[in-house]
Amino acid sequence: MTAHTDQGDAVRTSIHVAATPEHAFTVFTSGIDRWWLRTHHVQPGELKQVGVDPYVGGRMWEESDSGDVCTWGHVLLWDPPRTFAFSWLIGPDWQPPAPDAPGSRVTVTFTPTETGTQVDLVHDRLDVHGPGWEGVREAVKGENGWPIFLHGFAAAI
Protein backbone atom coordinates (compact mmCIF):
# COMPACT_ATOMS: atom_id res chain seq x y z
CA MET A 1 0.00 0.00 0.00
CA THR A 2 1.63 3.22 -1.06
CA ALA A 3 0.54 6.81 -1.21
CA HIS A 4 2.03 9.85 -2.85
CA THR A 5 1.63 13.48 -2.04
CA ASP A 6 2.86 16.25 -4.24
CA GLN A 7 4.42 19.07 -2.32
CA GLY A 8 7.04 21.56 -3.33
CA ASP A 9 10.43 20.09 -3.99
CA ALA A 10 9.82 16.94 -1.99
CA VAL A 11 8.71 13.41 -2.74
CA ARG A 12 6.73 11.61 -0.06
CA THR A 13 6.08 7.91 -0.21
CA SER A 14 4.74 5.54 2.39
CA ILE A 15 4.37 1.83 2.71
CA HIS A 16 3.10 -0.47 5.43
CA VAL A 17 4.99 -3.61 6.27
CA ALA A 18 3.98 -6.57 8.43
CA ALA A 19 7.08 -6.41 10.61
CA THR A 20 8.23 -4.65 13.76
CA PRO A 21 9.89 -1.22 13.50
CA GLU A 22 13.11 -2.82 14.72
CA HIS A 23 13.07 -5.36 11.93
CA ALA A 24 11.97 -2.82 9.31
CA PHE A 25 14.75 -0.43 10.37
CA THR A 26 17.33 -3.20 10.18
CA VAL A 27 16.21 -4.37 6.75
CA PHE A 28 16.15 -0.81 5.43
CA THR A 29 19.69 -0.05 6.65
CA SER A 30 22.00 -3.01 7.21
CA GLY A 31 19.82 -5.06 4.86
CA ILE A 32 19.78 -2.44 2.10
CA ASP A 33 21.58 -4.79 -0.27
CA ARG A 34 18.61 -7.18 -0.08
CA TRP A 35 16.15 -4.76 -1.59
CA TRP A 36 18.14 -2.12 -3.46
CA LEU A 37 17.24 -1.97 -7.16
CA ARG A 38 20.15 -3.67 -8.88
CA THR A 39 19.69 -1.52 -11.97
CA HIS A 40 20.48 1.61 -9.98
CA HIS A 41 24.16 2.31 -9.51
CA VAL A 42 26.58 5.05 -10.41
CA GLN A 43 29.69 3.10 -11.36
CA PRO A 44 30.32 1.22 -14.60
CA GLY A 45 29.82 -2.53 -14.67
CA GLU A 46 27.47 -4.54 -12.53
CA LEU A 47 26.45 -3.62 -9.00
CA LYS A 48 27.97 -5.99 -6.48
CA GLN A 49 26.84 -4.56 -3.18
CA VAL A 50 25.19 -1.58 -1.54
CA GLY A 51 25.84 -0.67 2.08
CA VAL A 52 25.20 1.75 4.92
CA ASP A 53 27.70 2.63 7.64
CA PRO A 54 25.51 2.48 10.77
CA TYR A 55 26.33 5.80 12.41
CA VAL A 56 25.89 9.52 11.82
CA GLY A 57 28.45 10.66 9.27
CA GLY A 58 28.77 7.12 7.90
CA ARG A 59 28.79 6.47 4.19
CA MET A 60 26.06 5.32 1.87
CA TRP A 61 28.15 3.34 -0.57
CA GLU A 62 28.08 0.95 -3.46
CA GLU A 63 30.64 -1.54 -4.73
CA SER A 64 30.89 -2.54 -8.36
CA ASP A 65 31.78 -6.00 -9.58
CA SER A 66 35.31 -4.78 -10.25
CA GLY A 67 35.67 -3.91 -6.57
CA ASP A 68 35.48 -0.14 -6.86
CA VAL A 69 33.61 1.55 -4.03
CA CYS A 70 31.76 4.83 -4.46
CA THR A 71 30.21 6.92 -1.71
CA TRP A 72 26.90 8.41 -2.82
CA GLY A 73 25.60 9.85 0.43
CA HIS A 74 26.15 10.17 4.17
CA VAL A 75 24.11 9.17 7.18
CA LEU A 76 22.53 12.28 8.70
CA LEU A 77 20.36 10.69 11.38
CA TRP A 78 20.74 7.31 13.02
CA ASP A 79 18.05 6.72 15.59
CA PRO A 80 16.92 3.08 15.48
CA PRO A 81 14.23 1.94 15.28
CA ARG A 82 12.47 5.22 14.53
CA THR A 83 14.40 7.50 12.21
CA PHE A 84 17.06 7.16 9.56
CA ALA A 85 18.15 9.99 7.29
CA PHE A 86 20.86 10.34 4.70
CA SER A 87 22.12 12.76 2.13
CA TRP A 88 21.65 11.85 -1.52
CA LEU A 89 24.36 13.09 -3.84
CA ILE A 90 23.21 11.30 -6.97
CA GLY A 91 21.81 13.41 -9.77
CA PRO A 92 19.20 12.09 -12.19
CA ASP A 93 22.03 11.15 -14.54
CA TRP A 94 23.30 8.48 -12.09
CA GLN A 95 26.92 9.47 -12.50
CA PRO A 96 29.45 9.10 -9.64
CA PRO A 97 28.93 12.25 -7.58
CA ALA A 98 31.75 14.73 -7.07
CA PRO A 99 32.99 14.90 -3.46
CA ASP A 100 31.48 18.35 -3.12
CA ALA A 101 28.27 17.56 -5.00
CA PRO A 102 25.19 19.17 -3.44
CA GLY A 103 23.00 16.68 -1.65
CA SER A 104 19.27 16.27 -1.32
CA ARG A 105 17.97 14.55 1.79
CA VAL A 106 16.10 11.33 2.41
CA THR A 107 14.37 10.87 5.77
CA VAL A 108 12.74 7.57 6.68
CA THR A 109 10.57 7.15 9.75
CA PHE A 110 9.28 3.88 11.17
CA THR A 111 6.06 4.09 13.16
CA PRO A 112 4.56 1.07 14.91
CA THR A 113 0.97 0.17 14.03
CA GLU A 114 -1.32 -2.59 15.28
CA THR A 115 -0.28 -4.87 12.48
CA GLY A 116 3.26 -3.80 11.72
CA THR A 117 5.12 -0.67 10.79
CA GLN A 118 4.25 2.40 8.79
CA VAL A 119 7.31 3.47 6.80
CA ASP A 120 7.26 7.07 5.63
CA LEU A 121 9.94 8.28 3.27
CA VAL A 122 10.52 11.92 2.42
CA HIS A 123 13.07 12.87 -0.22
CA ASP A 124 13.37 16.63 -0.07
CA ARG A 125 15.71 19.47 -1.05
CA LEU A 126 15.42 18.07 -4.56
CA ASP A 127 16.14 21.48 -6.02
CA VAL A 128 19.85 20.85 -5.43
CA HIS A 129 19.72 18.45 -8.36
CA GLY A 130 18.27 21.27 -10.39
CA PRO A 131 21.07 21.57 -12.92
CA GLY A 132 20.08 18.10 -14.09
CA TRP A 133 16.48 19.01 -14.71
CA GLU A 134 17.11 19.82 -18.33
CA GLY A 135 18.58 16.39 -18.84
CA VAL A 136 15.69 14.65 -17.12
CA ARG A 137 13.19 16.54 -19.21
CA GLU A 138 14.98 15.63 -22.40
CA ALA A 139 15.22 12.01 -21.31
CA VAL A 140 11.49 11.85 -20.68
CA LYS A 141 10.69 13.51 -23.96
CA GLY A 142 13.18 11.54 -26.00
CA GLU A 143 12.36 8.59 -28.21
CA ASN A 144 14.16 6.19 -25.91
CA GLY A 145 12.28 7.34 -22.87
CA TRP A 146 14.12 6.72 -19.64
CA PRO A 147 17.72 5.57 -19.77
CA ILE A 148 18.70 1.95 -19.37
CA PHE A 149 18.43 1.89 -15.59
CA LEU A 150 14.69 2.18 -15.77
CA HIS A 151 14.23 -0.90 -17.86
CA GLY A 152 14.10 -2.98 -14.70
CA PHE A 153 11.48 -0.70 -13.35
CA ALA A 154 9.24 -1.18 -16.35
CA ALA A 155 9.71 -4.93 -16.18
CA ALA A 156 8.77 -5.08 -12.52
CA ILE A 157 5.47 -3.24 -12.91
**If binding is defined by CB under 8 A, does position 134 make contact with another protein?**
yes
**If binding is defined by CB under 8 A, does position 131 make contact with another protein?**
yes
Contact characters 17-56, another protein, x per CB under 8 A: xxx---xx--xx--x--xxxx--x----------------
Question: At its nearest, how many Å lie between another protein and the CB of residue 95?
Answer: 11
According to the 3-state scheme, what is the secondary structure of the chain? CEEEEEECCEEEEEEEECCCHHHHHHHHCCCHHHHCCCCCCCCCCCEEEEEECCCCCCEEEEEECCCCEEEEEEEEEEECCCEEEEEECCCCCCCCCCCCCCCEEEEEEEEECCCCEEEEEEEECHHHHHHHHHHHHHHHHCCCCCCHHHHHHHHHC
Select the residue interacting with another protein from 70, 126, 143, 148 (CB under 8 A). 126
Stretch that binds another protein, among 43-51, 54-62, 65-73, 114-122 (CB under 8 A): 114-122
Question: What is the rounded radius of gyration, in angstroms, for the C-alpha atoms of the chain?
Answer: 16
- Of the two residues 34 and 144, which places its CB atom closer to another protein in the complex? 34
**If binding is defined by CB under 8 A, does position 70 make contact with another protein?**
no
Interface positions with another protein (CB under 8 A):
2, 4, 6, 8-11, 13-19, 23-24, 27-28, 31, 34-37, 40, 92, 102, 117, 119, 121, 123, 126-134, 136-137, 140, 150, 153, 156-157
